[in-house]
Amino acid sequence: MNIAEVERRTGLTRANIRFYEKEGLVAPARSANGYRDYTEADVETLRKVRLLRQLRVPVPEIRAVQAGERPLPEAAAKQLDVLEQDIRDGQQAYAACRAICDDRAEWDGLDVDKYLSISVLPSYAVATPGEQDRIPPAGCPWRRYFARSLDLSLYGLIWSMMALWGFRMNPDSFSLFIWTLLCSYTAWVLAFVLEPLLLHFWGTTVGKWIFGLSVRDEDGNKLSISTALYRTWGVFIHGMGGGIPFYDLYRNIQCWRYCEVEELSWDLDNSCAIVVRERQTKWYRAAGYIALSVLAVLADKGITLRAELPPHQGELTLAEYVDNCNDYLEYRGYPPSVAADGTWYEPNAVGEWRGLAVTLDLDDLPDVTVETDENGYVSAVTVTCEGQEGSFGYMTRETAFYAFAASYEKWGIQELLTWNHVSAGLSTDGWDFGAPDTNQTNKTEMGALEITHEVAFSNATDEAWEQHTPMPYHSVYTIRKK
């Protein structure tokens, strides 16, 4: 039977049962899944232990009786002397309390010597067996909480690298709630893989190590992988509420309360305990936690920015340019729409977008031409489009810029932080739309590249522009090596 059934049948708490097990009074077998399997004999032993502890027989005496080293009547007779002394102490304390009541004594002016002279009072209060028979709790709930949060954030970084770099998942394509939930549960999946290994081989985790905590079994050894796995499962279910939003907060608060008075269930159930190196947190441990937390946030931002870099950089072949284009589109949730020759096509496969012309607010797909030099490297990309809405093939131009310009210039994370469309010649800021049939040109240079954007508008008056009136246009956007 499991420990919950033993609790019900013996009236002992889980902490009491674990204490008696540690003291060697009961030794349950282990089932195939690693949990304790108590027998009827174990239950009967615990009931006997409870009876003798209620009679205030010390645990060492019970152990001696159980081992046959001392007859039970002899242990009981010895206990009679203790109980008689307890009775005398109680009577003396009773007499002193009665005298205080009869005298209607007040705090101010209390004659301590008078009431001490009535009798010799017991020097300490005897705790009940239920209060005594517990493995001392490790306490330090805040250190354990922050250690756990740091561990999960580090597991989350591993997930971010896998998701963004390996699976090319874009966080912006998910709602914030869904992405947060996905990251939370995936971090726990990684915790089930990594934490048992860390506890088995190292005896701690990064978060626990920062706060001077480790986990050991009842013999002081590092945990087996199976025990560490069951412990992590207990933390997830009982400590974090299975990761269910809001319920996990409730479980954290409950565990914080329990942690102050007894060992937590995942430690009790797995015969292990948190080992605390020092009672008070050292300042450098708190500083280390803050530093690692900040680094984790920066690393997460760096992972996100690194995922936005083109897969191919420097001199590009046509195939590499096309691969960059389709990578950019897929990462932002669009179907790959660039053919092997660099031209764009409208995907019509079932389940894909109904057409980029609709998606990009264009009447017709832009006409994209890619030029290569004598060595087969891309030397220029031109995007030509016509329409009514004035979007000028924005997504197509941005894709070409990412695939060719940013790649050729070997952009890194620092450049992504300062990327803005105006400097890249992707904006119409500063253009004058005062006269009909206006031709406007924007030129900019970026390293060894020249970017030109020419637009011919029809009916491009100030009034039409301010009222967002559709204006027919012809747009030519070119990125060319100097």
- Looking at the fold, whether 238 and 115 belong to one and the same domain comes out as no
- Looking at the fold, whether 265 and 338 belong to one and the same domain comes out as no
| pLDDT for residue 428 is more than 60 | no
| pLDDT for residue 296 is more than 90 | yes
- Looking at the fold, whether 220 and 268 belong to one and the same domain comes out as yes
Is the pLDDT higher at 151 or at 272? 151
Q: For the segment 302-311, what is each residue's pLDDT rounded down to a tens digit? A: 999 889 889 9
Q: For the segment 159-206, what is each residue's pLDDT rounded down to a tens digit? A: 999 999 999 898 988 888 999 999 999 999 999 999 999 999 999 999
Quick one: pLDDT at residue 360?
44
The Cα–Cα gap between 156 and 51 comes to 50
- Looking at the fold, whether 332 and 268 belong to one and the same domain comes out as no
- Looking at the fold, whether 198 and 118 belong to one and the same domain comes out as no
Q: For the segment 394-413, what is each residue's pLDDT rounded down to a tens digit? A: 788 888 999 999 899 888 87
Q: Is 433 exposed, middle or buried (0-12, 13-18, 19+ CB in 10 A)?
A: buried
In a domain, 156, yes or no: yes
Percent of the chain beyond pLDDT 70? 84
- Looking at the fold, whether 128 and 145 belong to one and the same domain comes out as no
Residue 28 structural domain: 1-134
Tokens 């206006």 belong to residue: 438
- Looking at the fold, whether 36 and 128 belong to one and the same domain comes out as yes
Please state the domain count of the chain.
Answer: 3
**Would residue 60 be called left, alpha or beta, if left means φ above 0 and alpha means ψ between -120 and 50 degrees?**
alpha
The arrangement of strands across the sheet holding 439-446 comes to 367-372, 378-387, 473-481, 449-457, 439-446
Spell out where 69-222 has E strands. 213-217
| pLDDT for residue 362 is more than 50 | no
Taking every pair of Cα atoms in the chain, the longest distance, rounded to a whole number of angstroms, is 115
Q: Considering only CA atoms, which of 147, 134, 280 is closest in space to residue 215? A: 147
In a domain, 312, yes or no: no
What is the band of 391 on the pLDDT scale with cuts at 50, 70, 90? low
| CATH number for 123 | 1.10.1660.10
Q: What is the rounded average pLDDT for all residues in the chain?
A: 83
Over residues 441-457, the mean pLDDT reads 85
Over residues 261-276, the mean pLDDT reads 82
8 A C-beta contact, residue 41 and residue 27: no
Q: CA-CA distances (angstroms) from residue 272 to 135, 222, 438?
A: 11, 9, 79
8 A C-beta contact, residue 215 and residue 204: yes
pLDDT-wise least confident of 190-194, 201-205, 350-354, 455-459: 350-354
Most confident of 79-93, 107-121, 168-182: 168-182
The Cα–Cα gap between 424 and 400 comes to 12
The Cα–Cα gap between 203 and 217 comes to 10
Residue type, 442: N
Quick one: pLDDT at residue 363?
43
Quick one: pLDDT at residue 431?
56
What is the band of 364 on the pLDDT scale with cuts at 50, 70, 90? low
In a domain, 48, yes or no: yes
What is the band of 425 on the pLDDT scale with cuts at 50, 70, 90? low
In a domain, 417, yes or no: yes
In a domain, 322, yes or no: yes
- Looking at the fold, whether 179 and 58 belong to one and the same domain comes out as no
Over residues 125-154, the mean pLDDT reads 79
What is the band of 422 on the pLDDT scale with cuts at 50, 70, 90? very low
Tokens 């996990």 belong to residue: 248
Most confident of 58-67, 95-104, 227-236, 443-452: 227-236
Most confident of 119-123, 171-175, 272-276, 285-289: 285-289
Q: For the segment 6-22, what is each residue's pLDDT rounded down to a tens digit? A: 888 988 888 888 888 88
- Looking at the fold, whether 8 and 93 belong to one and the same domain comes out as yes
- Looking at the fold, whether 376 and 417 belong to one and the same domain comes out as yes
CB atoms < 10 A from the CB of 98, how many? 11
What is the band of 356 on the pLDDT scale with cuts at 50, 70, 90? very low
| pLDDT for residue 355 is more than 50 | no
Over residues 73-79, the mean pLDDT reads 87
Is the pLDDT higher at 100 or at 181? 181
In a domain, 213, yes or no: yes
The Cα–Cα gap between 96 and 316 comes to 97
The Cα–Cα gap between 122 and 149 comes to 47
- Looking at the fold, whether 154 and 300 belong to one and the same domain comes out as yes
Quick one: pLDDT at residue 117?
77
φ, ψ dihedrals at 36, nearest 5°: -70, 140
Among the three residues 112, 134, 156, which one is the final residue of a domain in this structure? 134
Over residues 120-145, the mean pLDDT reads 68
Among the three residues 277, 307, 337, which one is the final residue of a domain in this structure? 307
What is the band of 453 on the pLDDT scale with cuts at 50, 70, 90? confident
In a domain, 449, yes or no: yes
- Looking at the fold, whether 89 and 231 belong to one and the same domain comes out as no
In a domain, 313, yes or no: no
Among the three residues 83, 110, 134, which one is the final residue of a domain in this structure? 134
Q: For the segment 368-385, what is each residue's pLDDT rounded down to a tens digit? A: 999 999 999 999 999 998
Q: Is 219 exposed, middle or buried (0-12, 13-18, 19+ CB in 10 A)?
A: exposed
